[in-house]
A and B are shown apart, each in its own frame.
Chain A
Amino acid sequence: MGKRIVIDPMTRIEGHLKIEVEVENGKVKDAWSSGTMARGFEALLRGKDPRDAPYVTSRICGVCYSVHQLTSARALDDAFGAKVPWGGTLLRNLAMGAQYIYDHVLHFYQLSALDYLDIMAVAKYKGRDKDLLAVKDKIVGLVKAKDTFPLTPRYKPDAFCVKDPDIVISAVKHYIDALSMHAKARNMGAIFGGRTPHYQSIVVGGFTQYPDINMVARFRTMLDEQAKFINEVYIPDVLAFGTGPLFPLAKIGLGGGHYNYLAYGALEKDPAGKDLVFPAGAIMGLDPKAIRVQRFDQKKITESVKYAWYNQDKPQHPYNGKQEFDLDQRDAYSFVKAPRYNGKPMEVGPLARMLIAKNPTLIGLVKQGVKPGAVARHAARAIETKLVMDACYKWCDDLLSAMTKPGFKIHDTAHWDPPQKGMGAGFYEAPRGALGHWVKIKNKKIDNYQCVVPSTWNASPRDEQNVRGQYEESLIGVPVPDPDNPLNVVRVIRSFDPCLACAIHLIHPKTNEIRKFTVQ
């Protein structure tokens, strides 16, 4: 029996994920991924007007709110029989495009980069760049004042951490710049979203707010600034790290997993919706030399609960799934169900999307020896950020041209009222991966509602066949030379951009000291 290491919580605010690994001879031998918090917000929707669902579901998660709203609207589009006009689709795409940009850049710099840097190396910077010297002064000053949030406390740097002072200091500078870019991209999303956070303009049938030329011009100006950062900082950083200091991790394919990939598809490039920025499809058992993509068929999705605290006797399609908890379920270790596609565990997210799209840049990296795994996930995320950014320019042009045509529409008003009875499915690609919403309507009210979120696919527990979920499988064999510092485990899981949508924001002071501030 190897040594057990528990990492809990893996993420703090965005949810409750516990990773447990068994380490033997310096490597992970077995792994368990648990969602430690009961979900089931869907129950809140039963009996409500279906048109409330996009707003309610946008409150599930503090990160993916707009994409829940959109996916919910798409499930309603399907159930109501609404046909979103091209103008509505373009506006939805631009609102989502902003989310992709702010999410992916944030993930690389704020949520991951520090796992790969020896921050203290900045003190050894000998160069003369004024901006970088200011960064050095700042960090050294914070260390002296013992006030180094958000850079520490953290894991001890290991052999794979970048220690070259020049690289580290410029990465820290980019970390700071990325925060500012993130804040601006949020403002960009609000132009069409109506507000941020929690967009309000996405509804069944299309969009609520007509654009004017000034809005498009503002969006474009802000997009220019994001594009400069993405092209000149983000992508070069990811490529330089992936093919440079992190190449040893890339070469061993750290965090590969099952090599099954799934994408539902999203972001239409033409009014017919045939050409997508992210094509739908499935890859079973990747062969990087000859990638075979199967057609996506939603009927192949089931959710198993053998190892999850739910009351259900056999795997069910999400239309029929229920959220009834059973805490006495024998063998259960997670509140996350185990979704399967054609009975198999799948990876969803940027790497899945770029492999399914057979993206030439990613395939080029794979040929250079970057095996599908943690490092390739970061690369795929950067590559698709550029694809979305380029598409945003095209959508701005398309929108300007559509706006000037007579009969410009952004909403299918004829299908605004809920049907007496119906069912619908909404499929989309959240930044973290394939997102699905399923709705059943009875007497014009919601009868059943289910969301299968991206992290449910990736963080899934074992299934009926005892086959591990993708996080679990991706940890097998991962080197953990020091059990007190399981940095590689953290790197692998964070490369997926984990998010178990629960988002509790309660301020919880460490002591009861706060009571002295009671107001009467």
Chain B
Amino acid sequence: MTKLNTTDTPTPDNQKKTTVLGVGNLLLSDEGVGVHVVKRLMGMALPPEVEVIDGGVSGLGLMNIVARADHLIVIDAVRAGGPPGSIYRFGSEDLTAHPDTYKMSVHEIGILEVLNLSRFVGQTPKTTIIGVEPKSMEMGMDLSPEIQAKVPRVIELILDELRHSN
């Protein structure tokens, strides 16, 4: 089967790569929590095999990033009905992979679909999703104070995840 090969230069040491990927829309307040978190993470000292990516609002454009990771940690807003600021941790296998809406809209692609497509072409990074229940999705470039207050906890969880990953 065709393997997805996205490396343009061979990795010299074949080191396992962990990618922390924050996704979301920075213009819709708490929807952008994943990006706010990784921006803060970018200023921290992390092991060299860890790559931190601001995935922004990209969908399939994240294919290159997902496909080159061995362990993928996705940070995103997740609406699961808990109180705002609830933090969830789960694997991609815990989510309904293709909601019913697919019947009418098979093509447009978000992070879960990218993970599925990646699996389809035979490249599946071990995936952990850390989600935060948003409070506001209104237009705005700042997080709600309640969500902002959770950012350090999310970072702690990511660092935990990285420690277990090695």
Chain B residue nearest in CB terms to A152: B106
0 or 1 for each of B86-115: is its CB under 8 Å from A? (1 = yes): 111110001111111111111111111100
* Alpha-carbon distance between A401 and B27 when the two chains are bound, in angstroms: 40
A110/B24 in contact, CB under 8 A: no
Cβ of B47 < 8 Å from any Cβ of A? no
A222/B8 in contact, CB under 8 A: yes
0 or 1 for each of A1-26: is its CB under 8 Å from B? (1 = yes): 00000011111111000000000000
B97/A149 in contact, CB under 8 A: yes
B63/A60 in contact, CB under 8 A: no
Cβ of A177 < 8 Å from any Cβ of B? yes
Residues 45-85 of B contacting A (Cβ, < 8 Å)? 54-64, 67, 76-82
0 or 1 for each of A40-62: is its CB under 8 Å from B? (1 = yes): 11011000000000001011111
Cβ of A293 < 8 Å from any Cβ of B? no
A505/B111 in contact, CB under 8 A: yes
Q: Which of B6, B56, B141 contacts A198 (CB 8 A)?
A: B56
Residues 167-186 of A contacting B (Cβ, < 8 Å)? 173, 176-177, 179-180, 182-184, 186
Q: Which residues of A contact B99 (CB under 8 A)?
A: 508, 510
B12 to chain A: closest CB distance in Å? Answer: 16
0 or 1 for each of A489-520: is its CB under 8 Å from B? (1 = yes): 00000100000000111111111111101111
A44/B108 in contact, CB under 8 A: no
A8/B77 in contact, CB under 8 A: no
* Alpha-carbon distance between A180 and B120 when the two chains are bound, in angstroms: 12
Residues 48-95 of A contacting B (Cβ, < 8 Å)? 56, 58-63, 65
* Alpha-carbon distance between A62 and B149 when the two chains are bound, in angstroms: 27
* Alpha-carbon distance between A509 and B110 when the two chains are bound, in angstroms: 13
B23 to chain A: closest CB distance in Å? Answer: 5
Residues 27-49 of B contacting A (Cβ, < 8 Å)? 27-28, 31
Cβ of B4 < 8 Å from any Cβ of A? yes
B20 to chain A: closest CB distance in Å? Answer: 15
B139/A505 in contact, CB under 8 A: no
B88/A114 in contact, CB under 8 A: no
Cβ of A197 < 8 Å from any Cβ of B? yes
B24/A505 in contact, CB under 8 A: yes
* Alpha-carbon distance between A180 and B131 when the two chains are bound, in angstroms: 28
Q: Which residues of B contact A503 (CB under 8 A)?
A: 25, 57, 59
Interface centre among B120, B121, B134, by most chain A C-beta atoms within 10 angstroms, is: B120
Say yes or no: A197-B6 contact (C-beta < 8 A), given A13-B110, A505-B110, A507-B131. Answer: no
A9/B105 in contact, CB under 8 A: yes
Cβ of A209 < 8 Å from any Cβ of B? no
Q: Which residues of A contact B56 (CB under 8 A)?
A: 58-59, 62, 65, 197-198
Q: Which residues of B contact A511 (CB under 8 A)?
A: 96
Chain B residue nearest in CB terms to A55: B26
A504 to chain B: closest CB distance in Å? Answer: 6
Chain B residue nearest in CB terms to A10: B105
A507/B57 in contact, CB under 8 A: no
Cβ of A134 < 8 Å from any Cβ of B? yes
Q: Which residues of A contact B116 (CB under 8 A)?
A: 149-150
* Alpha-carbon distance between A153 and B31 when the two chains are bound, in angstroms: 29
Q: Which residues of B contact A59 (CB under 8 A)?
A: 25-27, 56-57
Q: Which residues of B contact A11 (CB under 8 A)?
A: 105, 107-108
Cβ of B166 < 8 Å from any Cβ of A? no
Q: How large is the interface on A (under 10, 10 to 19, 20 to 34, 35 or more residues)?
A: 35 or more
Q: Which of A40, A63, A518 contacts B59 (CB 8 A)?
A: A63
Say yes or no: A180-B90 contact (C-beta < 8 A), given A504-B28, A505-B24. Answer: no
B88/A514 in contact, CB under 8 A: yes
Chain B residue nearest in CB terms to A102: B61
Cβ of A218 < 8 Å from any Cβ of B? yes
Cβ of A138 < 8 Å from any Cβ of B? yes
* Alpha-carbon distance between A449 and B143 when the two chains are bound, in angstroms: 23
Say yes or no: A61-B8 contact (C-beta < 8 A), given A11-B108, A13-B108, A512-B80. Answer: no
A509/B141 in contact, CB under 8 A: no
A13/B1 in contact, CB under 8 A: no
Chain B residue nearest in CB terms to A512: B81
Say yes or no: A12-B105 contact (C-beta < 8 A), given A180-B121, A183-B63, A515-B82. Answer: yes
Say yes or no: A149-B120 contact (C-beta < 8 A), given A8-B104, A10-B105, A180-B4. Answer: yes
A150 to chain B: closest CB distance in Å? Answer: 6
B116 to chain A: closest CB distance in Å? Answer: 5
* Alpha-carbon distance between A519 and B97 when the two chains are bound, in angstroms: 22
* Alpha-carbon distance between A134 and B24 when the two chains are bound, in angstroms: 36
Chain B residue nearest in CB terms to A221: B8
Interface centre among B25, B81, B111, B130, by most chain A C-beta atoms within 10 angstroms, is: B25
* Alpha-carbon distance between A44 and B32 when the two chains are bound, in angstroms: 15
List 6 additional A-B contacts (Cβ < 8 Å) besides A134-B1, A188-B8, A506-B78.
A11-B108, A13-B113, A62-B61, A65-B56, A221-B8, A518-B82
Closest 8 CB pairs of A and B: A62-B57, A197-B58, A183-B64, A503-B57, A514-B80, A183-B6, A517-B90, A12-B105
Give me 24 A-to-B residue pairs in the complex whose CB atoms sit less than 8 angstroms apart, sorted by A's number.
A11-B108, A13-B113, A63-B59, A63-B61, A110-B109, A135-B2, A137-B1, A154-B103, A154-B106, A180-B6, A183-B6, A183-B64, A184-B6, A197-B56, A197-B61, A198-B56, A222-B8, A505-B77, A506-B76, A507-B112, A509-B80, A512-B80, A518-B88, A519-B87
